[in-house]
Amino acid sequence: MRIGELAERTGTPRRLLRYYEEQELIMPTRCANGYRDYDERFVDRVVQIRGLLDAGLPTRIIKQILPCLDKPRVIHFKDATPEMLATLEGELDRMNHRIACLTRNRDAIEEYLEVVRRSKAPEPSAPGGR
């Protein structure tokens, strides 16, 4: 598939698909005429990249962890250097931290919304609703 189709299927501007390639997050092949050629797997991959970016990870880190997330699980021992493992452990920590922070705040927002809803919509009739 060419860049236009991938862009549409992932809801990602072409510009960014090229940018992710420049950052070496995705490496499409090229057709004879120079057009980028993406295979089916890039759809999920791009969605995953965008999710991680949105969650605050920089491309530099995403580039490092992506190869470890491939399924079927294949361990690229070339990548599994001690430094790489340390990086991953570090990122794991940071991600756990982020998750905890987001969860805490999400719960607080949820609680707030519930309190507001209860005070604003006291459902005066039909008390035994549901």
Chain contacts with DNA (rule: CB under 7 A): 2-5, 7, 13-16, 18-19, 23, 32-36, 50, 53-54, 58-60
Binding mask 70-109 for a second copy (x = CB under 8 A): ---x-x----x----x--xx-xx-xxxxxx-xxx-xx-xx
Which tokens go with 85? 């493992």
Q: Which is nearer to DNA, 32 or 121 (CB)?
A: 32
Q: According to CB under 8 A, which one of 119, 121, 122, 129 is a site residue for a second copy?
A: 119
Task: Output 115-119 pairs: Cβ under 8 A, ≥24 positions apart.
Answer: none
**CA distance linking residue 89 with residue 109, whole number of Å:** 30
Q: Which is nearer to DNA, 33 or 119 (CB)?
A: 33
How many other C-beta atoms lie within 10 A of the C-beta of residue 107? 10
Should residue 112 be labelled a site residue for a second copy when binding is judged by CB under 8 A?
yes
Distances (CA, A) of 9 to 1, 13, 18, 53, 73: 10, 10, 15, 18, 25
Q: State the binding partner of 15 from DNA, a second copy, none, CB within 5 to 8 A by kind.
A: DNA
